[in-house]
Structure 1
Amino acid sequence: MVSDSAHPRTRLDDNFASPIRFSLMAALVDDVEMDFGTLAHVLQVGDSALSKAISHLQSAGYVFARKGYVGSRPRTWVHSTAVGRKAFAGHVDALRAIVELGSPQP
């Protein structure tokens, strides 16, 4: 059966192709702000991999990182942007649609 509509995979966002970037956005989906150390712990990734993921998503406009200090120690906090949350929701919807296509129809 051929459909006139595009396959849902065409709605996937390549910015979330990396499992670390995908997981990062999932952790920040509810407009939560987390510090770098907490994100590294939650995502179970090293500092370098997390830093690269944040940089990539920040370049796409999907997250914002702000730097500051807690006492004399430097800290970085990261939160998702409205654009990033919308893009991630669209990506997840596309994944769900792909799964539904493969599910047996009643």
Structure 2
Amino acid sequence: MSHPRHQLDEVIHAPVRLSIMAALAATDLADFRFLRDTIEVSDSLLSKHLLTLEQAGYVRIEKAFEGKKPRTWLSLTDAGAKAYRDYLDILKQLTAGS
């Protein structure tokens, strides 16, 4: 039997990406600026990590305009929500004996 840490999703495991997943799991839709301020990162760092999560199929990025102002809306995909739940389950396994 292998140790549960081997099952941790490396895409989610990075601290910024884990913060993004946790924040998005708590809501249906989040604005880019709100998420940036919530997890306290720069625009460029958030964009970089969102791209990784989007490429993994975990995050949906929707761009729209409100008047002439661009807005970016973010949400977890069904696959992202499942991956996040699975990640949390593995963390529980890892910490159950502590």
Tell whether the structures are fold-level matches, with TM greater than 0.5.
yes
How far apart, in 1, do the equivalents of 2:89 and 2:2 lie? Answer: 14
Show structure 1 runs of 5+ residues with no match: none
**% identity of equivalent residues:** 40
State which structure, 1 or 2, has the greater radius of gyration over its C-alpha atoms: 1
Structure having the larger proportion of residues in helix: 2
Aligned partner of 1:16 in structure 2 is 12
Alignment of 1:1-106 (within 5 A): 5-30=1-26, 32-101=28-97, 103=98
How far is 1:60 from its partner?
A: 0.1
Alignment: residue pair count: 98
Q: Tell me which stretches of 4 or more aligned residues in structure 1 moved more than 3 Å.
A: none
How far is 1:92 from its partner?
A: 1.1
- Report if aligned partners of 1:11, 1:90 keep a CA contact under 8 Å in 2: no
TM-score by length of 1: 0.87
> What is the root-mean-square deviation of aligned Cα atoms in Å?
1.1
User: What are the Cα deviations for residues 48-106 of structure 1, in whole angstroms up to 9, with x where unaligned?
Assistant: 000011100000000000000111101110000010011111111111111113x2xxx
TM-score by length of 2: 0.94
